[in-house]
Amino acid sequence: MNGTTMTARYGLGDLIDVDRYPFDQPDSAAYRAAVDAARAQLRTDGCAVIKDLIRPAALSILSSEIVERKPTTHYSTQTMNPYFHTEHNPDYPDRHPVNTFLERSSGFIPGDSWESGCATDVIFRAPELTRFLAACLEIRRLHCYADPLAGLTANILDPGQQFTWHFDTNDFAVTVLVDEADEGGLFEYVPNIRNADDEGFDHIQDVLEGGRDGVVTLDLRPGDLQIFRGRYSLHRVSRVAADSVPRHAAIFAYTEQPGVIGRVVRTRQLFGRVLPEHEAAERERVRSDTLLD
């Protein structure tokens, strides 16, 4: 099957609720209202939810696409601090976020498991969606993250698993919850617990030790799309109960610059392997670093 045939399989209107969110009419009142609401939420606490963006029939397609690809999930259990480090750092006290390690036991379906034209990929790459997201984030233009593994992923939390408290390294993430757990698997966050001038270590330590001060549990349902600024807001997906169904979320990564590829070390940590593109990008970085020095 060639790319054109595959892409023609789903129109964007089959997958997302363009009656409620007229993505093809950016000048309409409904479009502007959705953008304004998301901007207000993002400014207040760095998190916006576009309710029921995915049509119910499309949601079951997204779910089957995840289930079909689930055997390609890279699971990794590690104990890590909120900055994704796993080693004790003697420059900090023992009872400190840098030296507090909690279990992350989820897995990711990697970017190269999704073929062009599947419903999840069509939504991820829809120019109408990136235009809408850019408007919500008050950014001029967004590009799909060019990383062949980390661009389009699904976060898989099977029964008993959790994605512990952390900060993201990218400025924002876009998530569509596809299958929710019956118990646990909740997205929790502490809005703006740190900022460029203040690491917020005391508050972070309190949350890592189970404190609930400032913790918000997001009301996110299957079919909702979440836009989240995860660099300043500590967040986690709580443990999925042992007798629950799994939690599956599609994660769309975008960048402001085109052609960005992730670092080798982080790629190995999340996906257990790297591709020639990652190694080439790393060599390119070394070369330009040498030139700059």
Ligand X SMILES: O=C(O)CCC(=O)C(=O)O
Site string for Fe ion, 223-252 (x = CB under 5 A): -------x----------------------
Q: How far is it, in rounded angstroms, from Cα 227 to Cα 42?
A: 8
Distances (CA, A) of 182 to 37, 71, 108: 29, 22, 20
Residue 187 binds ligand X (CB under 6 A): yes
Structure tokens at 102: 């909690």
Q: Does 172 bind ligand X (CB under 6 A)?
A: no
**Comparison of 61 and 249: residue with beta carbon closer to ligand X:** 249
The reply on whether position 100 binds ligand X by CB under 6 A is no
Of 97, 17, 10, nearest to 52 by C-alpha is: 17
Task: Determine, following the binding rule CB under 6 A, whether residue 162 of this chain makes contact with ligand X.
Answer: no
Residue 248 beta carbon to ligand X: minimum distance, rounded to whole angstroms: 9
Q: Quote the CA–CA distance of 255 and 174 in Å, as a whole number.
A: 11
Closest CA to 173 of 239, 117, 232, 222: 232
| CB nearer to ligand X: pick between 152 and 249 | 249
Task: Give the count of residues interacting with Fe ion (CB under 5 A).
Answer: 2
Residue type, 235: H
Told to check if 167 binds ligand X by CB under 6 A, we report no
Of 14, 45, 103, 168, the one binding Fe ion by CB under 5 A: 168
Contacts with ligand X by CB under 6 A: the residue count is 9
Between residues 52 and 168, which has the closer beta carbon with respect to Fe ion? Answer: 168
Provide the CA 270 distance to its chain's centre, in angstroms.
13
For Fe ion, the closer of residues 61 and 174 by Cβ is 174
The encoded tokens of residue 92 equal: 């900090």
Name which position in 113, 120, 155, 233 contacts ligand X (CB under 6 A).
155
235 counts as binding ligand X under rule CB under 6 A: yes
Sign, Cα dihedral of 118, 123, 128, 130: negative
Token pair, residue 192, equals: 């703006």
Place of tokens 């990383």: 147
Q: At what angle do helices 29-45 and 127-137 cross, to 10 degrees?
A: 50
Nearer to ligand X among residue 31 and residue 165 (C-beta): 165
Residue 38: which of ligand X, Fe ion, none does it interact with, CB under 5 to 8 A by kind?
none
Which entry of ligand X, Fe ion, none binds 151, CB below 5 to 8 A by partner kind? none
* Interface contacts to ligand X, rule CB under 6 A: 155, 163, 168, 175, 187, 235, 237, 249, 251
